[in-house]
Structure 1
Amino acid sequence: MDTSERMFAEACAVMPGGVNSPVRAYRAVGMTPRFIRSAKGAYITDVDGVEYIDYVGSWGPMILGHSHPDVLQAVADTMKDGLSFGAPTGRETELAKLVCSMVPGIEMVRMVNSGTEAVMSAVRLARGATGRDKIIKFEGCYHGHSDSMLVKAGSGALTAGRPDSAGVPAAIASGTLTAQYNNLDSVEALLRANDGEVAAVIVEPVAANMGVVPPAPGFLEGLRRLCDQYGALLIFDEVITGFRLARGGAQEYFGVRADLVTFGKIIGGGMPVGAFAGSKKLMEQVAPTGPVYQAGTLSGNPVAMAAGLAQLTILNEHPEIYMQIENSAIWLATQLRALEEQYHKGCTVNQIGSLLSVFFTDRPVTDFAGAKSSDTERYAAYFRAMLKQGIYLAPAQFEAMFVGAAHTKDDLMNTVLAASRVMQEL
């Protein structure tokens, strides 16, 4: 029994499934999870001292690499003054101003503590601002674990084979309508059938919780048009794409404006942070200036704000990072597709920006049905073999690979060489 196995056995005695977030349990890949001791740059090291090239990056926020010295220094400097005050600090304003300056179309930001909380609050705001109750989401898209969003969800809920959850009252679930990603007709049909009742359409601009599925040409533009036509708000869930596709996230990358935007831990340098943002008119509907209540004792935590300021300042001042990581992801995806052509393993590789996924299906993956056609057992075998080669991928088919600024040419080449060895034997 190695150290991770021993630690997992101990964890299972005191935590459900031995973890604090289901996908970490490695059940989808038939393994004991690796317990991590440390991380630096593009590498993580487990408790047995085994080092891996990391393409999870704490599920996205480590865009600059682990333990970036500027981020660590900002955290260390801030910690000296205390960890939490439950009172305003100047760093909250600084980070909010920086976010507003980077993201098109937003004028105010409310800091929260997670992507789940950001989405939950944005949905409440949309309902409060419109006086409507229903929400449209898309099959296979994941927007956190609040009750109304656990309807035909992606990410860990999909990995477990249960894209719904026990404990969600039917009355709450009935307010969430589901459409098909990349299918505007399905959205319009719901809006027409529920005319005057839909508060918002919420979408991952790039679906990244059923694997990576880019939007079809015209899809996001069509959502904007339909929302305007039917008086619904458009919410972009940018917990993954925010500050990763571009400085201004998906709104900048695709040139489509949302009414509300949600962000996750990337704005805290990987610390527990989230935010929702929009126009001044909408955001002033939030307490204490408006009737939509939202609160959080730890929201705007000074240490998290310092980490976020450090990371976003670097991204704001060095936009060339985005071209670098996108080019790296394009190269990696191209090489993986070449391996498929060479070994004929029935794989499809999707890539956009610095995000990519290897699906074990020979059909194009443009929607939830395509993603669900993937052979999850073959992905599990691929994951286990790649881990033995020193490549740390998401322990589930329906997640993204994240390429970051710390991945060097040698890292990418070693990843392709590992994949080549694995593909030959798979």
Structure 2
Amino acid sequence: MIYKRSSALFAEAKKYIPGGVNSPVRAFKAVGGDPIFVKEAKGAYLYDEDGNRLIDYIASWGPMILGHAYKPVIDAIIDKAKKGTSFGMPTEIETELAKLAVSMVPNIDKIRFVNSGTEACMSAVRLARGYTGKDKIIKFAGCYHGHSDSFLIQAGSGAVTFGSPNSPGVTQGTAKDTLLAAYNNLDEVKTLVQANKGQIAAIIIEPVAGNMGCIVPTDSFIKGLRELCTAEGILLIFDEVMTGFRLGKGGAQEALGIDADIVTFGKVIGGGLPVGAFAAKTEIMNHLAPDGPVYQAGTLSGNPLAMSAGLAMLTELNTNPDIFDSLAKKTAFLHEGIGKALSKKGVPHQINRFGSMVSVHFTDEPVVDFASSAKGNNERFNTFFHGMLDQGIYLPPSAFESYFLNDALTYADLEETIAAVENLNL
């Protein structure tokens, strides 16, 4: 394929935007080459500035569950935009979307809308600290909860040591309150809890991880976290920015059968527009201002464009829950086809899947956490990525990201994708 215009646009962007992009993964640093600049999208397809059509497997990193430019969502945005785009005042549609979300998701009574998944997770942790009166949190290596200071932490010298910043600008003071454990390792979590008895406000986790590939929690791990949090007075936060309203109407809580204390959501709750949310039982949410002392605010929170798009999206998912089964079946079909193609080539690989999330790892070992994900053959992944891109298949440009399927994908699209794998020289 020809990407002359994308390359020219990237060169121009680098003059004015750091790295030429507004989010690092877009820069193709992990896979090499210049990023693709999108001109428009419809259904399951992206159309770039060079006129190429690409089958999309990132779905704007999750929210485009029904495909791009889904008509009811677009119509809702257009209708609402004609009446004004932002007021900084309450609107009825905020309550309509809140009522619908609360009815779909288990174990929540109230929800607060914000502007991004990062803001939702940051606010959830602040709320947990304010509610419990404790300072420390536990997060898991490889789980991404946005770029708030508390989450940009890498491992210390041992399981019970404090983490250290992995980005300049994050202070040691912030880092000392974030403890790091390995995903799917309950014993490490228990050790951290015992070493910091009575000091931990919350454990935050991607209940099905999507930022080290798709990593599924073991039953004993996720159930053990719930039991440990209950026993120790720790709040369990499910970061469902990726999984919320994707793994089912009730998200990962419903899919895994586990109740979290606080749940965060991302762009899907706004039909793909910039939006986020966090939710919990009334007792916890009433600690938020203006009812309680924990402060959180935002001029664009609950803005009418995002609320109208979200209401259209969630209404469709709530009315037609068969969409989740359809997506899961398509994902299983893709999983089986890619697996057969790679096995036929004798390529060592692991494929992880849950619902409509899936990832391919070029390794012999099961991928259950960040450390095992990092053992994948990155050179082979880069060859795989560019080989698929050359055939019109757009995959996540990083070995550490899940694919997200959308329901506009047809079985013909999936067969074309599998055929592209079969054509590769790996």
Which TM bucket (shorter chain)?
over 0.9
- Determine the structure 2 residue equivalent to 1:156: none
Among 399, 417, 420, the residue aligned to 1:418: 420
- Deviations 1:1-53, CA, capped at 9 Å, x for gaps: 71111110110000100000000001111010000000000000000110000
> Is 1:127–1:199's contact at 8 Å kept on the other side of the alignment?
yes
Q: Map 1:251-266 onto structure 2 (within 5 A).
A: 251-266=253-268
Shift of 1:378: 1.4
Q: State whether structure 2 residue 370 is matched by structure 1 residue 375.
A: no
Q: State whether structure 2 residue 302 is matched by structure 1 residue 269.
A: no
Q: Which whole-Å CA distance do the structure 2 matches of 1:23 and 1:44 have between them?
A: 18
- Determine the structure 2 residue equivalent to 1:51: 53
- Determine the structure 1 residue equivalent to 2:308: 306
- Determine the structure 2 residue equivalent to 1:134: 136
Q: Which whole-Å CA distance do the structure 2 matches of 1:199 and 1:163 have between them?
A: 20
Distance 1:163 1:341, change over 3 A: farther
Q: Which whole-Å CA distance do the structure 2 matches of 1:89 and 1:375 have between them?
A: 51
- Determine the structure 1 residue equivalent to 2:332: 330
User: Secondary structure of 1:140's partner?
Assistant: coil
> Is 2:165–2:175's contact at 8 Å kept on the other side of the alignment?
no
> Structure 1: which amino acid aligns with 2:387?
A
Q: Which moved more, 1:117-126 or 1:378-387?
A: 378-387
Q: State whether structure 2 residue 106 is matched by structure 1 residue 104.
A: yes
- Determine the structure 2 residue equivalent to 1:199: 201
Q: Which whole-Å CA distance do the structure 2 matches of 1:163 and 1:398 have between them?
A: 20
> Is 2:381–2:399's contact at 8 Å kept on the other side of the alignment?
yes
> Structure 2: which amino acid aligns with 1:345?
V
- Determine the structure 2 residue equivalent to 1:319: 321
Q: Map 1:116-265 onto structure 2 (within 5 A).
A: 116-152=118-154, 164-265=166-267
Q: Which whole-Å CA distance do the structure 2 matches of 1:367 and 1:393 have between them?
A: 21
> Structure 1: which amino acid aligns with 2:268?
I
- Determine the structure 1 residue equivalent to 2:401: 399
**Alignment identity in percent?**
56
> Is 1:62–1:270's contact at 8 Å kept on the other side of the alignment?
yes
> Is 1:183–1:219's contact at 8 Å kept on the other side of the alignment?
yes
Q: Which whole-Å CA distance do the structure 2 matches of 1:302 and 1:363 have between them?
A: 47
- Determine the structure 1 residue equivalent to 2:287: 285
- Determine the structure 1 residue equivalent to 2:63: 61
Shift of 1:152: 3.1
User: Secondary structure of 1:44's partner?
Assistant: strand
Shift of 1:178: 0.5
User: Secondary structure of 1:9's partner?
Assistant: helix
Q: Which whole-Å CA distance do the structure 1 matches of 2:12 and 2:306 have between them?
A: 30
Q: Which moved more, 1:355-364 or 1:271-280?
A: 355-364
> Structure 1: which amino acid aligns with 2:411?
K
In structure 2, stretches of 5+ residues that fail to align are 156-163
Q: Which whole-Å CA distance do the structure 1 matches of 2:329 and 2:221 have between them?
A: 24
> Is 2:129–2:202's contact at 8 Å kept on the other side of the alignment?
yes
Shift of 1:266: 0.6
- Determine the structure 2 residue equivalent to 1:159: none
Q: TM-score, normalised by structure 1?
A: 0.96
> Is 1:140–1:152's contact at 8 Å kept on the other side of the alignment?
no
> Is 1:44–1:51's contact at 8 Å kept on the other side of the alignment?
yes
Q: Which moved more, 1:163-172 or 1:113-122?
A: 163-172
Q: Which moved more, 1:374-383 or 1:169-178?
A: 374-383
Q: State whether structure 2 residue 103 is matched by structure 1 residue 114.
A: no
Shift of 1:331: 1.1
* Structure 1 consecutive aligned stretches of length 4 or more whose deviation exceeds 4 Å: none
Q: Map 1:24-103 onto structure 2 (within 5 A).
A: 24-103=26-105
> Structure 1: which amino acid aligns with 2:9?
M
- Determine the structure 1 residue equivalent to 2:160: none
Q: Which whole-Å CA distance do the structure 1 matches of 2:126 and 2:30 have between them?
A: 33
- Determine the structure 2 residue equivalent to 1:341: 343
> Structure 2: which amino acid aligns with 1:2?
K
User: Secondary structure of 2:246's partner?
Assistant: coil
Q: Which whole-Å CA distance do the structure 2 matches of 1:178 and 1:122 have between them?
A: 18
> Is 2:41–2:68's contact at 8 Å kept on the other side of the alignment?
yes
Output the aligned Cα RMSD.
1.1
Q: Which moved more, 1:316-325 or 1:144-153?
A: 144-153
Shift of 1:286: 0.4
Q: Which whole-Å CA distance do the structure 1 matches of 2:380 and 2:265 have between them?
A: 33
> Structure 1: which amino acid aligns with 2:112?
R
Shift of 1:340: 2.3
> Is 2:342–2:422's contact at 8 Å kept on the other side of the alignment?
no
In structure 1, stretches of 5+ residues that fail to align are 154-161
Shift of 1:367: 1.2
- Determine the structure 2 residue equivalent to 1:5: 7
Shift of 1:207: 1.1
Shift of 1:97: 0.5
Equivalenced residue count is: 416
> Is 2:138–2:204's contact at 8 Å kept on the other side of the alignment?
yes
- Determine the structure 2 residue equivalent to 1:362: 364
> Is 2:165–2:172's contact at 8 Å kept on the other side of the alignment?
no
Q: Which whole-Å CA distance do the structure 2 matches of 1:110 and 1:337 have between them?
A: 41
Shift of 1:119: 0.2
> Is 1:365–1:371's contact at 8 Å kept on the other side of the alignment?
yes
> Structure 2: which amino acid aligns with 1:254?
L
Q: Which whole-Å CA distance do the structure 2 matches of 1:398 and 1:353 have between them?
A: 18
Shift of 1:218: 2.0
User: Secondary structure of 1:206's partner?
Assistant: coil
Q: Which whole-Å CA distance do the structure 1 matches of 2:409 and 2:135 have between them?
A: 45
User: Secondary structure of 2:183's partner?
Assistant: coil
- Deviations 1:349-374, CA, capped at 9 Å, x for gaps: 11110000011111110111110101
Shift of 1:335: 1.2
